[in-house]
Structure 1
Amino acid sequence: MFNGALTALVTPFRDGEVDAPALRELIEWQIQSGIDGLVPCGSTGESATLTHSEHDNVVKLTIEQVRKRVPVIAGTGSNSTAEAIRLTAAAREMGADGALLLSPYYNKPTQDGIFRHYKMIAASVDLPLFVYNIPGRTASNIAPETFARLSEIKNIVGVKEASGSMDQSSDILKLCGDRLAIFSGDDGLTLPLIALGAKGVISTSGNVIPREMHDLAAVALGGDFPKAREIHYRLIPLMRALFVETNPIPVKQALAFMGKCANELRMPLVPMTAGPAEKLRIVMKELRLV
């Protein structure tokens, strides 16, 4: 059920509010472009500055618009275990196909604390769960040995691995085997991680190039690595340009260039600076996106 390229959706805003029409149109374009799944309310969706009501509404809107055409994995992470359980239970009631939960940030639990956090959520909510490891945002790394422990829990089914470390990813794949579906959390590592046995990518770039990210994952998963390398090298300049400033600042700018949503973020995030924005536009022009 879970494989290929899944887009970590932005949350469009207009005049300080969630832009529901723009989000619906973005979702529809994603599906028509062949994307393999959608992930609302993750880091790219600015979940940290959504109110609880907005968070629930964005998940609900996404599920309603998708209408079971592709899997919806709702972002439901929190550094409070009780809050993560509430968000995950709400996503299950709305009809989400799974939940993505980042490792607790700021309070920096030990590896045993991280394990118990996920174990408690899994015991509380009967829903396929994905563990999201992104040390650059959480200030702690989930060790491969902790993933091995987590893989023994029935409804923990996958990992979004965004440490940027091929060594770490290799160790997770070796220790967990088929018990966890590993997804790249770094767009530029999609191809090498699939070559090692990953099932796909949860992608920021997918907001801008859903068809191309689907094709990259599908071709690599099908074993045509020469073709996959061709796609990888064609897309890598855009993947890099979309991360020259904090995600999702560049991807919001890119979508604004394409007329998909307003270039509006929630404070303390601010729009992209002029120089990098122009370089992004040039890269997009080379790919005929603008």
Structure 2
Amino acid sequence: MKTKHTLPQPFKGIVPPMITPLKDETNLDIPGLERLINHIIEGGVHGLFILGTTGESTSLSYALRHELVARTCEIVDGRVPVLVGITDTAAIESLRLADTAEKKGASAVVAAPPYYFNLGQPELIEYYEYLVERLSLPLFLYNMPSHTKIIIEPDTVKTLSKYKGIVGLKDSSANNAYFNNVMNKMKGRSDFSLFVGPEEIMAETVLLGAHGGVNGGANMFPELYVKLFEAAEKGDVLTVKSLHGIVMEISSKLYSLGNFGSSYLKGIKAALNIMGICSDYMASPLHRFREAEREKIANNLEEIKSKMLNLKH
């Protein structure tokens, strides 16, 4: 087993949902993967999350998913905790991937609800019970209703938090009312980590007591998101306002081109490719940006980079 980083409780900070650098449908971009991981870690992040939505997990073959876990853990080599997404419609495949994660040195796994049958909350509780009883790694719940059709209700989060192996929640609903409700129900559990996915609301949720962000932009600009998190954790509202403004520039100028449901992901991959970090190939059914959009991304990236220079001073 490779060097492993044990999760603190609560786990806090910026945990980028890493994109998956691909050469084609069946091969990872290995040099790009190494450059990307080192780039992210050098930005001061607190962990790394692979095989989430931003990692195109559901579009990858099982062989690629297992290979990505092994190679990522090897490259990270214990420098930060590695969290592995094990979301699947088949629980047995989730457990197989979790087994690989444990053997290769990951620190935790992350599971959204199975996304085919529309489970009720009692069934959802039974599903997570089934997983946690068979897992050797800590488990984060992953609320992603836009993709799974299922909300992990605040009361369900509270019920599941009673299991020793369930240590936190990643919420990608972008629903502040939902997240505030969860925080209120969990206020007596300082050991249970609460993270948000959408970077546009990360700072405000941390100011209100959340533990951090799983923010896609930290693939490109990890230092920015770390500084924003640190400012929010300290209650430094002036710095939060300044840095949050740059995050919103990233959101509007890199994530919103064209009429694509996947514009956010296309934008991140195009930007990383333009930055010389890794390939922008996307697994089917998605496709990378064409030249017209790439040109816009390149121009917008230069504008954002000029603002990023102020972070160095």
State the number of aligned residues: 290
**Counterparts of 1:220 and 1:90, CA distance in 2:** 35
| 3-state DSSP of counterpart to 1:253 | helix
Q: Does 1:3 align with 2:3?
A: no
1:261-276 residue pairs with structure 2 within 5 A? 261-272=278-289, 276=293
Give the letter aligned to residue 305 of structure 2.
Answer: R
Verify the 8 A CA contact 1:152 1:179 in the aligned structure 2: no
**Counterparts of 2:204 and 2:23, CA distance in 1:** 38
Residue in 2 that maps onto 1:195? 207
Verify the 8 A CA contact 2:40 2:220 in the aligned structure 1: no
**Counterparts of 1:168 and 1:240, CA distance in 2:** 24
Extract unaligned runs of 5+ from structure 1.
none
Residue in 2 that maps onto 1:232? 244
| 3-state DSSP of counterpart to 2:78 | coil
Verify the 8 A CA contact 1:11 1:46 in the aligned structure 2: yes
Residue in 2 that maps onto 1:248? 265
Residue in 2 that maps onto 1:110? 120
Q: Label 1:255 to 1:181 Cα distance change in 2 as closer, same or farther (>3 A).
A: same
**Counterparts of 2:144 and 2:254, CA distance in 1:** 17
Cα-to-partner distance string for 1:195-219 (whole Å, 9 max, x where unaligned) = 1211100111111111111111122
State the 1:282 CA deviation: 3.0
State the 1:139 CA deviation: 1.4
State the 1:187 CA deviation: 1.0
State the 1:7 CA deviation: 0.9
Verify the 8 A CA contact 2:87 2:112 in the aligned structure 1: yes
RMSD: 1.7
Cα-to-partner distance string for 1:71-116 (whole Å, 9 max, x where unaligned) = 1101111122222222212211211101111121121211111111
**Counterparts of 1:250 and 1:28, CA distance in 2:** 20
Verify the 8 A CA contact 1:191 1:228 in the aligned structure 2: yes
Residue in 1 that maps onto 2:5? none
Residue in 2 that maps onto 1:131? 141
State the 1:36 CA deviation: 1.4
**Counterparts of 1:118 and 1:48, CA distance in 2:** 19
**Counterparts of 1:243 and 1:234, CA distance in 2:** 13
Verify the 8 A CA contact 1:151 1:179 in the aligned structure 2: no
| 3-state DSSP of counterpart to 1:73 | strand
Extract unaligned runs of 5+ from structure 2.
1-7, 309-313
Residue in 1 that maps onto 2:4? none
**Counterparts of 1:191 and 1:258, CA distance in 2:** 26
State the 1:180 CA deviation: 2.2
Cα-to-partner distance string for 1:243-285 (whole Å, 9 max, x where unaligned) = 3241422111111111111221111101225555444333311
Cα-to-partner distance string for 1:118-156 (whole Å, 9 max, x where unaligned) = 111111112111111111111121111111111111111
**Counterparts of 1:180 and 1:95, CA distance in 2:** 22
Residue in 1 that maps onto 2:111? 101
Give the letter aligned to residue 117 of structure 2.
Answer: N
Residue in 2 that maps onto 1:258? 275
TM-score (norm 1): 0.94
Match 1:12 to one of 21, 34, 58: 21
**Counterparts of 1:4 and 1:136, CA distance in 2:** 24
Residue in 2 that maps onto 1:82? 92
Q: Label 1:202 to 1:221 Cα distance change in 2 as closer, same or farther (>3 A).
A: same
Residue in 2 that maps onto 1:180? 192
Give the letter aligned to residue 204 of structure 1.
Answer: G
Verify the 8 A CA contact 2:138 2:166 in the aligned structure 1: yes
Identity %: 29
